[in-house]
Amino acid sequence: MSDKGEKVIAEIHDIHNTPPGEWSLKRVLPDTGIPWYKRRHLLLLNLGMIIPYLSSTTNGYDGSMLNGLQSMSQWQNFFGSPTGTRLGSLSNGVIFGQILAFPIAPWLCDHTGRRFPIFIGSALLVIGAILQCAAQNYGMFLASRMIIGFGGLIAVEASPLLVSELAYPTHRSVLVGYYNNLWYLGALLAAWVTYGTYFMGPDASWAWRIPSLLQGFFPLVQVVFIYLLPESPRYLVQKDRYDEARKVLTKYHAGGDENSELVDFEMKEIILHIQASKSASRTGYREFLSTKGNLHRLFIIITVPCMMQLSGNGLIAYYLHLILNSIGLTSDPQQLRINGGLTVFNLGVSIILASFMEIVGRRRLFLFSTVGMLTCYVIWTILSAINEQRDFHDTSLGTGVIFMIFMYQLFYNAGLNGPPWVYVTEILPTHLRAKGTNIMQIAATCVILFNGYANPVAMDAISWKYYIVYCCVIAIEIVLVYFGFPETKGHSLEEVSMIFDGEKAFGVASEKENSAVV
């Protein structure tokens, strides 16, 4: 080990006065007694997170918009009332575009930073929204959705990385948790926009063209404002741009204080962690198979997106109209009002629950969520079965199903809306974060493809009996969380690595690499 490498470790030990494995942010966090919203640099930083949040908002708008369009006679008539695999292809059009973007998104994040992928992905989303609005037939509508998926994946992969790596240490979990919650803001707007435009008239194609065009609004905001945010300091350190990274941390975490102990700690911890990662790094994605800790990470980043998409929520997100049809609620305005009310409920509940993430912890929220979802799905299934047996004449049973849908969403939001992105971004080391989130997106896409084709076909064929499949899936998820998800709350991004790698997370890099540290 070089003298410079020893110096960095010695300085960190001096700050903490504790051995490796017991390092803590608490020793260097400033105690000003002033709430964060009265500290200008933290207020501006946290407000700036709205820009990457809009990637999630656009994603939510898409799912809710398609739900709304399916309840519109104008859209159904224009495209010939698509059903089965034809309807599944429209739902999965975004997924087809995402598949094409998989090899590109992590490369852009690793080689151009976090801001440029958000910029270029959002620009493509704007183009896709314009083409979607102008669609003249089924094929053009499908092609526009593929462009939306291609650009959307690039922006979605980079956005939570920027939030996670730029956030103030004690704000990170809540801020990243809010990222996915803003999905419901887009869903809410799409639900009520489609409800409003529905009344333009039975032959008005603008009833569905206006919601399609508005899908490009939030990406346009990102294109204009994304470069007002600084680049990720962890990305800058990874590219050996230490001075730039320090300036970012000094300005946004310390309010310009050049002598901040917090900035010293963050810089040294980030440098040590990234240098150790580079020293141990293998080639590309194979590194996930190289150590026990990385295999554990791989298990989690595949399991989490499967839980997010395979817990029955796909039925509600894209095929709510089929669920409502199955309990005898077939009126277009009635379905649109329920869809809109559900998005309002989801947005409020998800934001409230995300605020408890650092108090309760990730693991407990995952368990609370899965157990609650299973309970709701079992009751939901029973009520649907009885309702069908009574030929949908008992309106109280239909009301009970709707109540269970709302309760299910409460439990889903508790563990599978905010916590997943927090958990995945914090368990991955910096040099694997982009690749890991790409694997997460690939796993999610595989499940969404299943949802897109299997759900409408199964719902048409066996109706409520299909819910039994999801009851079994959620039961398996409870077991996987209980035995495979460690708690990570209360740690910095670098400290979380010690849960998986032990003290190797802060191992000493080679002499050549250490020579670049100072």
Out of 34-43, 421-430, 492-501, the most confident range is 34-43
pLDDT at 412: 93
Q: Which has the closest alpha carbon to 300: 19, 70, 45, 499?
A: 499
Radius of gyration of the chain (CA): 24
Tell me whether residue 447 is exposed, middle or buried, using C-beta atoms within 10 angstroms of its C-beta: 0 to 12, 13 to 18, 19 or more. middle
The model's confidence at residue 505, banded by pLDDT at 50, 70 and 90, is: low
The string of DSSP letters for 140-155 reads HHHHHHHHHHHHHHHH
Q: Which of 14-18, 283-287, 388-392, 431-435 has the lowest mean pLDDT?
A: 14-18
Secondary structure string (H, E, C) spanning 431-479:
HHHHHHHHHHHHHHHHHHHHHHHHHHHHHHHHHHHHHHHHHHHHHHHHH
Which pLDDT tens digit goes with each residue over 139-185?
A: 999 999 999 999 999 999 999 999 999 999 889 888 988 888 888 89
H-helix segments, 17-83: 40-48, 50-70, 73-78
The model's confidence at residue 317, banded by pLDDT at 50, 70 and 90, is: low
The model's confidence at residue 20, banded by pLDDT at 50, 70 and 90, is: very low
Out of 65-69, 298-302, 307-311, the most confident range is 298-302
**Is a pLDDT exceeding 50 seen at residue 510?**
no
Question: What is the residue type of 89?
Answer: S
Report the alpha-carbon distance of residue 264 to residue 287 in Å, rounded: 30
Report the alpha-carbon distance of residue 357 to residue 177 in Å, rounded: 8
The mean pLDDT of 194-201, rounded to a whole number, is 88
Global pTM value:
0.77
The mean pLDDT of 269-277, rounded to a whole number, is 81
The mean pLDDT of 48-71, rounded to a whole number, is 89
Q: Which of 14-18, 55-59, 250-254, 344-348 has the lowest mean pLDDT?
A: 14-18
- 102 near 434, Cβ under 8 Å? no
Which pLDDT tens digit goes with each residue over 331-344?
A: 777 777 887 788 78
Give, rounded to a whole angstrom, the gap between the first and last alpha carbons of the chain. Answer: 14
The mean pLDDT of 199-217, rounded to a whole number, is 91
Tell me whether residue 413 is exposed, middle or buried, using C-beta atoms within 10 angstroms of its C-beta: 0 to 12, 13 to 18, 19 or more. buried
- 287 near 281, Cβ under 8 Å? yes
Report the alpha-carbon distance of residue 291 to residue 455 in Å, rounded: 37
Report the alpha-carbon distance of residue 463 to residue 125 in Å, rounded: 35
Fold category of 48-229+281-487 in CATH: Growth Hormone; Chain: A; (1.20.1250)
Helix/strand/coil percent split, the chain, to 5: 80, 0, 20
Which pLDDT tens digit goes with each residue over 62-101?
A: 877 887 888 788 998 898 888 777 877 877 788 889 889 9
Report the alpha-carbon distance of residue 377 to residue 491 in Å, rounded: 34
Report CA dihedral (119, 121, 127, 131) to the nearest 10 degrees: -160
Which pLDDT tens digit goes with each residue over 449-468?
A: 777 777 777 877 877 788 89
